[in-house]
Amino acid sequence: MIDPQTQQRLREKYNPDGSTRRKHQLRMVEMLEYFDKLCQEHNIRYWLSSGNCIGVARHGGFIPWDDDIDVEMLREDYLKLEKIFAESDNYVLQTWKNDKGYSTPFAKMRDKKSLVTEDWEDNLYKYRGAYIDIFQMERAPRLCCYLYVKFRWVVLIPLSGRKNIFTQSLFHIIKRLYYLSIPVTRLLFGWLPKNKLRHTYGSGWIDNTRDTRNIFPLQRAKFENIEVSVPNNLDSYLRRIYGDYTQLPPEEKIQKPHISRVELW
């Protein structure tokens, strides 16, 4: 955990109280609290992931310049979530199945009382509110993951941006075939080690495998003003991905946010 003076300086620079970024972060915390309660009620295992885990370990919440929340779960829990998640006045689970313009293999829990603008194909989505990315994790070979990612970026995403009827019809046909092929590929590689996990086919982030021995049994940790599930061996989980995550990056190397505009109501 960094010292309070440094934390305060970063907060004042990147996400001061009352700023749009801070309001966006707090809205996502509300979403995460709802998501966590739903998962606990239905015995669905998930864990806060990646940069948000750095936030837990180093900042006690969001990395001050961060603008998203990512969670991971085993594929079996992801499928269960798809079945039990009911759309409400506030939230919807966005997947490639219920949003024609969405071609991504992981889900997003969307807030229905906000609008975020990103720098890619989000203008084609049916749902565009603040979100939590929900990644399904499974045994998958790196090469296959790479090929699925490449195909999605080279073929599916460019097709989704075309407006004419023929191209849109072609996009929907290819998207359907793309997702029909994944179960076949999955069946071929069921022999892979059970403790080595990757984000599911087509998701990206192909080089960062997760070791289940660092994840289970899950533990609870504080994130902002709520408690959430995180990997059991948080230090090993993070060092496997980032190396020495305890050190702040040089400020000139801090990534610019990929969300360019946020509207909340």
**pLDDT per residue rounded down to tens, the chain (265 residues):** 899 999 999 999 999 999 999 999 999 999 999 999 999 999 999 999 999 999 999 999 999 999 999 999 999 999 999 999 999 999 999 999 999 889 899 999 999 999 999 866 677 789 999 999 999 999 999 999 999 999 999 999 888 877 788 888 999 999 999 999 999 999 999 888 889 999 999 998 888 899 999 999 999 999 999 999 999 999 999 999 999 999 999 888 887 777 888 999 9
Contact 67, 21 (CB under 8 A): yes
Residue 168 counted as domain residue: no
Q: How many CA atoms are closer than 13 Å to the CA of 218, on its beta-carbon side?
A: 19
Six-digit token pair at 164?
């004419």
SS3 35: helix
Q: Does residue 89 lie within any of the structural domains?
A: yes
Which structural domain, as residue segments, surrounds residue 225?
4-141+208-246+255-264
Residues in CB range of 79: below 8 A, 6 or more apart = 136
Rounded-to-integer distance, Cα 86 and Cα 92, Å: 7
The letter for the amino acid at 192 is L
How far is residue 76's CA from residue 18's CA, in Å, rounded to a whole number? 39
C-alpha–C-alpha distance, residues 75 and 206, integer Å: 16
Question: Which position has the token pair 């934390």?
Answer: 7
Give the per-residue pLDDT at 168.
86
- Kindly state the tokens that stand for 25: 């972060």
What token pair was written down for 196?
A: 């080595």
How much is the pTM? 0.94
Would 119 be classed as within a structural domain? yes
DSSP 191: T
Q: Is the Cβ–Cβ distance between 63 and 54 less than 8 Å?
A: yes
The answer to whether the beta carbons of residues 246 and 54 sit under 8 Å apart is no
pLDDT value, residue 207: 85
> What per-residue confidence (pLDDT) applies to 164?
81
Assess if residue 200 is contained within a domain: no
Whichever domain contains 41, its CATH number is 3.30.460
**Residue 53 within a domain:** yes
Q: Is 49 exposed, middle or buried (0-12, 13-18, 19+ CB in 10 A)?
A: buried
Q: How far is 170 from 160, CA to CA, in rounded Å?
A: 9
pLDDT at residue 252 in the model: 82
Q: Is residue 86 part of a domain?
A: yes
Q: Are 106 and 199 in contact (CB under 8 A)?
A: yes
What pLDDT shows up at residue 257?
76
Residue 194 lies in a domain: no
Q: What are phi and psi of 179, to 5 degrees?
A: -75, -25
Considering its fold, how many domains does the chain have in total? 1
Amino acid at residue number 53: C
Domain membership flag for residue 150: no
Query: According to the model, what pLDDT value does residue 62 have?
Result: 97
Q: Coil, strand or helix: which one is 74?
A: strand
